[in-house]
Structures are given as structure tokens and as C-alpha cells.
Structure 1
Amino acid sequence: MKKQLTQWIEKDKQFCWHPFTRQGEWTAEEHEPLMLVRGEGVWLEDGEGNSYIDGNASIWTNIHGHAHPVLNAVLEEQLDRVAHTSFLGYGHPLAGELAEKLASFFPGTSLQRTFFSDNGSTAIECALKMAIQYRLQSGEPERTEFVAFVDCYHGDTMGAASLGGVDAFFSRFRKFGFPVRFVSSVDELRKLDRLDRVAGVVIEPLVQGVNQVHLWPQGMLAELREFTEAQGIHLILDEVMTGFGRTGSMFACQQEEVVPDFLCLAKGLTGGYLPLAATLTREEIYEAFLGGAENAFYYGHSYTANPLGCAAALASFQIFEDESTLERVAELIPHLSEGLEKLAGGHVHVWQVRQCGMVVGIELRGASGERFERSERIGEKVCLAARKWGLLTRPVLDTIVLLPPLSISFEEIDQCLDAIAQAITEVLHK
């Protein structure tokens, strides 16, 4: 096994290019990448047989755990039918079923039309292009700008990147994308001039993920919805991370009874099994694209509405019902809160804990509240140390992000927090 592991690592270093990665460090001779080869439930296993809790749900995608028997069986059954068919000029039964299921979460509203793509960035890209084309075809050609929020993250395709508020990711590319203005609050949005040029406002509801898990004030989303409706501005909600039970409800916007004009979904849509994304929009927006060829929405991907992905998504929703997932999450959230309170009380370097449902950010600072120098990379060191106690997760700067599969148990939550505590002690207290 050791020989095979060495070969895997050699091939990776020679041929692969990893996302958000300092490749010079990754390919350094002394670096031994962790090679993950197996998963079951919330656990992952590496090439040497070590087991870890998947503390960031494989980059915020996994919902019901790895190798879930229902998801596995559904995908095997679908493989016996067909793995992929084009959605350009053809349809298949599962796409309509899934679109109907998504619409069912917003009964009595016109948020009923789904456009499928394959990841969070393209779900956002789709909404932006739809929003602009809608204006061009509806007598408002001057509405071509967007408003986003400071320090936001909405994806890496060029249009989505133009919304990005994290300079390290986006400053090189922002001038090539859509015209975007940034605000930090609804009050700042109210004060912007020329709001009649704005096509849409984009936000992650309740909590910003990549912004070190910062929470929005309670009621802010409802206030934003009221203002955008009054101004004739479309509200685009990025629920790529917050969707599918992460915040305690199926979608975060439901907690403030907000129905957007565009709802962007991905990550957990298939339970974390396959790439699939969806952009939901209102029927009245969809109707502006009817008619001749000049009104068609010329956008799409080869794997749009992939049948395997649709099968997995429908099975995931069935698991939510059969396993009472949201009810379990309602029990897990206070247990997690209690554990986080103990963690914060036991470590002087835990400066702040931010929690929205099962989404957690644990920000580390110096004993007097001073930020660490970025060059120290404390967050990275703590996450690396946590592996010794059986936890895999990643930081955003010096904020440790904990966002496990929703199938996690009370005991496994305790193990996650203990691993983080042990890692903080190793890196900062010693």
C-alpha cells in the first residue's frame, strides 16, 4: 500500500493543478499530500488507513454522509437506464420531477421555473445573464449594474468573479466582468445614487461563508427584500452554501419568509454526490424570454440536467423526509452551540465564535484580541494539527470553519470540537 500511495502522490504532483493552492508548496519534495480513498457516513479514510471526520463536508457539499445506501442504490439503478442525455433539444423525466420538487418549497409564489447548470459559479452566472437580458427585453436597457456586499464570494467564473469582494481572489479580474457596486448594509444601499441603473442585488442570505462565516443581522434579509421590491430591483439569493438544511431550514431565505427573484443552488443539491446546480426564477421573468429566437436564453452546459445528478438530488430530498433530517438538525444545533461555548471559554485565543445553524466559524486571535500576521498562517496550522485528532477541515484566514454533513451525531460533534481544541493548544498554547 505504501508503494501505491507514493505513486499516487508522484502522479498528482507531476500532473495535477489544485484549486486555491500554492502549487510550489504542494509539489515540494518534503510535502506529503493527504490522499483520500474511501468514505462512509461522516468519515473519510486516507491511503494509509487513517480515519477523519469530514468537518467541512467536502467543501460544503455533503449532506447525508458518504456512501449513503439510498443514494448509492439510486445511482446504480439510474446507471442501468442511462448516465447522460443532452438537455438541449431533448428532455428526460427526472429533470421535470426535480424542478417540480424545487418549486414546491415556494408554494403560492411565482418562483416556479428552474434552469439547470453544474456548479455554484454557473448558477450565479446564469442569474446575472438572465437579469440583464430580461431588462434588455423589457424596456429597461439602462439597468445593467449589480450591487453586491463587501467581502462576499459568489464564484469564480468571470461574471460571478466580478461580484467578489475578496481582493486576493478577484482584484485581477474585476474590471473584465459586470459593473458592480459594493455596500456593507441595506442603509448603504439606500444611499446609492442612480438606483434606476441597477438590475439586481446579490447576497448570501443569513451568513457569508467565505467572509469568515460572518452573520447578517436578524431581519436584514426581509428588509432588503422590501427595499428591492420598492425599487424594482431583482433580488438574487446565493444559497449555494446555505441551502439544504445548513442553517436549520431547507433554504436560509425561508427563515425570514423571503422569496427572491432568482435563487441559486448547487453544492448540497445532490447530497454531495455529483455536480449539479439550479437557478430558480419567477414565472414573469421566464415569460420575457418567450417568443422568437431573439428572446431565447443562449446559455447552457453539456451536462445540464444530467440524469445521474437529478436522480441523486431527488433521492436526497427523499432522505430528508425519510430520515427527518431537518428535525435532527434542530436537535443538533443547540448541542453544537453548547460545545462551542465550552470551546470559547477554554481557550484565550478563541476570539469569537459565529454560528448559523450547522455553519460555524471559530476566529482565532492573539490573547489581547490582536490579529495574527497573515504570514503566520495560524488557521492553516491549526487545521493541519487537527488531523492528529481525526478531523479534516479548512480555515478562511484564521477562522476555522466547521460545517459537517448533517448526518453527524452528537458524539461526532464533540469529537470535532475536541480536535479543534487540541489543535489550538498544540499550535498556540505550547
Structure 2
Amino acid sequence: MNSYVKKDLKYIWHPCSQMKDYEELNPIVIEKGEGVWLYDIDGNRYLDCISSWWTNTLGHSNKRINEAIKRQVDSIEHVIFANFSNKPAIELAEKLVNITPEKLKKVFFSDNGSSAVEIALKMSFHYNMQKGNSKKKRFVALSDAYHGETLGALSVCDIDEFNLVYKPLLLDTFRVEGPDCYRCKYGFSRESCDAECFENMEKCLSKNHDDISAVIVEPMVQGAAGMKIYSSIYLKKLRKLCDKYEVHLIADEIAMGFGRTGEMFACNHAQISPDFMCLSKGISAGYMPMSVVMTTDEIYNCFYGDYKDRKSFIHSHTYSGNAMGCAIALENLKIFEEDNIINNNIEKGELIRKLTIKKAKNLNHVGEVRSIGMITAIEIVKDKETKESYPWQTRVGYEIYKIALKKGLLLRPIGDVLYFIPPYIINKEEIEFMVNTCYESIDEYFHREETMV
């Protein structure tokens, strides 16, 4: 064990981890990154097929973004964002208004995804209080939802691993059974359905709309639920229902925005415009913490007035509108346009999907391969016919992850769902290595288990 690993284990408490696991699988100390590859201090390399928690859009150590940082750091790194501003923030806000759905005209800056969700929830509630809608104090979220890990964000999550122990502290949220296309109760597929499962949302809003401030959803893909992909028809119906009952629609595009689903934003698949859109992760290409909440002129105007009116939205983050982060985001979006990233993603995503499906045909434990844009997920099941999952204690996904690491592939499973969300600059050879290595790791795991039996 080298000295860096020893110090890491001595001083650092890692996120989303059981630290006891690190006794067996020590932290991997990364020294540098280049393109889709990460290099550790022992000379090993790993293909980062999850874009380092879904953030790294254009590869590690992207030369153009590196240069943008160097230019900006010589001007201004950060300035207070209350009554002050900076050029990159202004230019980025204009750019975001131009590329997001049409109703979204105002940009509120923050520094991470959970904060963006908190801001959207607070804005929606505060708007209703100022409008005299004093009963509208609750929110609606889908089953298996994930929206972040601060208390407000956790209140609209529905994954026990994250929020079970904190439930006594959380807001009283309406939870609606959401789409589950792999195990559809109605017998349809996501390609052929009319979002029959939307009836659950319809019942909730028709009965409780007087008490509901907003519905929050992850458009098209529920990420932490295991990349559960659903029909755009669900979103179309949701937009109409929210309009009917005067309920805000919050689109949490933190994970799926900026090209992940084959469109710049996942809402574009349904051609809808939400009342709030939360953006983070890919906005700064994985370089710096940044998030924004986009909203409408109507909502903005509700907070506009004199201090004596007590209408102001008094919410702030120290690094709001950080000039460095904004300069990175601007360069990121320029590269999107100049390198035709979205169209290229469609071709690369299709290649990943085809290779993954081809490899899955002869494997008994691959229940479903599902994909959209640059996302492809492989759900491992105990029984392919019944779609029965393994008990969570089995940790099949984690065992496959450990095997893949030794082969130079960074998979980060969600339970027993393995997935590919690589940087957009990945090439054909790297795609083939990624898919082949994943399946080699699956094969090796089940061969080992059968041998042990």
C-alpha cells in the first residue's frame, strides 16, 4: 500500500460508500486524465465509461477548456454575485436562455445539483405564498426518484438507500408510482405505449391539486433508479395536467441535460417547456461545481418589487455565478456547436446500443438492454423469464465492477444495473473496448459463481 492510499484511508471519508469496503478495494489514486482515460499513480489506466458520475462531457484534460480556464484566471476568478456580475456569467445566461425550452427566460446560479433542486422547490412554494395560494405546500415526486441529498431534495427522492434514515426530517411529499417499462404492469413497451401508467399521476393531481405546489421529475430517464427510461408521452401528459391544475412542473435535468439523451435537453423529446429546469453536471464539462435553475418571466416577476414588499427571493450560495465555472461552461457549449456534438452522439449511441444488444443475446443473466442517446444500461437479473432481481445483499453489480477495474474499465453500477455514459469524445475502438470488457467481466463473474457451486 503506497503512502497516498494510506493517507487517504487515514483522513478521507468518501461519498456514497461503505468505508469498510475500502479495506478490500483500496481507493484508486488518479494522477492524470486524458480523453476517456484515467491514469493512476501506479501506471494503470481505466476507461471512464461513466464520465466520472455523469459530468465529464468532453473528456479529461480537454485542451480547449484548459485554455479557456487559463484565459479566465488572468482576468477574474470569482466575484461576489450580489449587486456585482461578470462577463462569463452574463454571456452564459444569454446562451442558456437561447438553447433551453422557450418559456425559460431567467437564470438563477448556484453550485451543485442538490442546491438547484432546493432552489426550484423553494421558488415554487414562495411563488404560491405570494400569490395567496396558501394551501399549496406540498410536492409530488415519482417512485424511485432521485433529486439530490440535501433535506429538501431528499424529500422528493424515493430511494431508501439515500433517504430512509432521514424520513422523520423530510417534507411530506406525495409519491406517485412512476413508469417501469421493463416490468410494465400494462403489458406494453416504452416504444408502443400511450403512457398508461400516467393514470397514477392523474389520480394524485385530480384529488390533491389544491395542496400541490409542483411536480418534480427526471425527464425521460430516472438515473439513480437504474437508468429507467420511459416514454416521452408521459411528459406530454404531465405538462397538460400541470397546466390544467395550475401546478408547477420542475424538470430535473441535472443528469440528463447537455446531450445525454440524444437531445440537448431531455424535455426536448416531448417538446415541452417546464416551469423550472435544474441544470448541473454536464454544464461545466466535469471541471468545476456549477448549477443553474431556469425559470419563466411569470415566476420571476412575482418576486420583483421593493424591499418593503418582502417579495425578494433571499437565497444565495457563495460561488453563485463563479466566473471560472461560467467561462468553462461557455467553452463547453461552443464545442457542442462547432463539433456537432449532438448529431455525433446519436451515431455513437447507436453503435454502443447495437454492440451491447449483440453481446447480450447469449447471456442468461442480462434481463434488459435499454438505451437512449449516449446512455445504455444493462440490467442483470436472477431469472430472465420472470425478471426476478438478485437480493441486494448479493451485490452482483459491485462484484462485476471489481472485475472490470482489473481489466481497465471504470463501471459504477447502480445495484445490478451496469451502464455506459462515456464522454462524448469516445471513439469506435474505445467503444468496442468498453462493451467487450464489460461483457468479459459479466462472463467472468458468473463463470466464477458456477464453478464455486
TM range (shorter): over 0.9
CA shift for structure 1 position 179? 2.4
Give, in whole Å, the separation in 1 of the partners of 2:346 and 2:369: 19
| Equivalent in the alignment of 1:187 | 199
CA shift for structure 1 position 327? 1.5
| Equivalent in the alignment of 1:124 | 117
**Among residues 45, 58, 63, which one is paired with 2:57 in the alignment?**
63
Give, in whole Å, the separation in 1 of the partners of 2:167 and 2:252: 19
**Among residues 287, 291, 312, which one is paired with 2:328 in the alignment?**
312
CA shift for structure 1 position 89? 2.3
**Count of residues in correspondence between the two structures:** 423
Name the TM-score, length of structure 2 as normaliser: 0.91
2:400 corresponds to 1:382 = yes
CA shift for structure 1 position 339? 0.6
**Among residues 406, 410, 413, which one is paired with 1:395 in the alignment?**
413
2:8 corresponds to 1:12 = yes
2:302 corresponds to 1:288 = yes
Give, in whole Å, the separation in 1 of the partners of 2:240 and 2:120: 20
Aligned-residue RMSD, C-alpha: 1.3
CA shift for structure 1 position 367? 4.8
| Matched-pair identity in % | 36
Give, in whole Å, the separation in 1 of the partners of 2:430 and 2:94: 35
Give, in whole Å, the separation in 2 of the partners of 1:270 and 1:355: 24
Give, in whole Å, the separation in 1 of the partners of 2:21 and 2:336: 41
Deviations 1:348-391 (A, max 9, x none): 11111121211122111225543222222110010111123221
Query: What are the residue-to-residue correspondences of 1:315-326 with 2, within 5 Å?
Result: 315-326=331-342
Give, in whole Å, the separation in 2 of the partners of 1:180 and 1:8: 44
2:350 corresponds to 1:330 = no
SS of aligned partner of 1:394: coil
| Equivalent in the alignment of 2:72 | 78
SS of aligned partner of 1:242: coil
2:403 corresponds to 1:407 = no
Preserved CA contact (<8 Å) 1:162 1:175: no
SS of aligned partner of 2:255: coil
Give, in whole Å, the separation in 2 of the partners of 1:189 and 1:265: 24
SS of aligned partner of 1:272: coil
**Among residues 9, 19, 35, which one is paired with 1:41 in the alignment?**
35
Give, in whole Å, the separation in 2 of the partners of 1:342 and 1:36: 33
Preserved CA contact (<8 Å) 1:144 1:179: no
Query: What are the residue-to-residue correspondences of 1:88-103 with 2, within 5 Å?
Result: 88-103=82-97
2:316 corresponds to 1:300 = yes
| Equivalent in the alignment of 1:136 | 129
Give, in whole Å, the separation in 1 of the partners of 2:304 and 2:44: 55
Query: What are the residue-to-residue correspondences of 1:197-236 with 2, within 5 Å?
Result: 197-236=211-250
Preserved CA contact (<8 Å) 2:103 2:274: no
CA shift for structure 1 position 195? 1.2
Give, in whole Å, the separation in 1 of the partners of 2:138 and 2:32: 45
**Among residues 281, 305, 310, which one is paired with 1:267 in the alignment?**
281
* Paired AA for residue 39 in structure 2: E
* Paired AA for residue 266 in structure 1: S
Preserved CA contact (<8 Å) 1:389 1:422: no
SS of aligned partner of 1:44: strand
Give, in whole Å, the separation in 1 of the partners of 2:389 and 2:270: 34
Structure 2: which 5+ residue stretches go unaligned?
A: 179-197, 449-453
Give, in whole Å, the separation in 2 of the partners of 1:381 and 1:171: 25
Following TM superposition, the consecutive aligned residue runs of length 4 or more in structure 1 with deviations greater than 6 angstroms are none
**Among residues 162, 168, 175, which one is paired with 1:175 in the alignment?**
168
CA shift for structure 1 position 409? 1.2
Structure 1: which 5+ residue stretches go unaligned?
A: none
SS of aligned partner of 1:131: helix
2:170 corresponds to 1:154 = no
2:440 corresponds to 1:422 = yes
Deviations 1:74-105 (A, max 9, x none): 00111111211110221111111111111001
SS of aligned partner of 1:81: coil
Preserved CA contact (<8 Å) 1:246 1:358: yes
Give, in whole Å, the separation in 1 of the partners of 2:243 and 2:426: 39
| Equivalent in the alignment of 2:186 | none
CA shift for structure 1 position 188? 1.1
Name the TM-score, length of structure 1 as normaliser: 0.96
SS of aligned partner of 2:441: helix
221-230 or 170-179: which moved more?
170-179
**Among residues 228, 252, 256, which one is paired with 1:242 in the alignment?**
256
| Equivalent in the alignment of 2:364 | 348
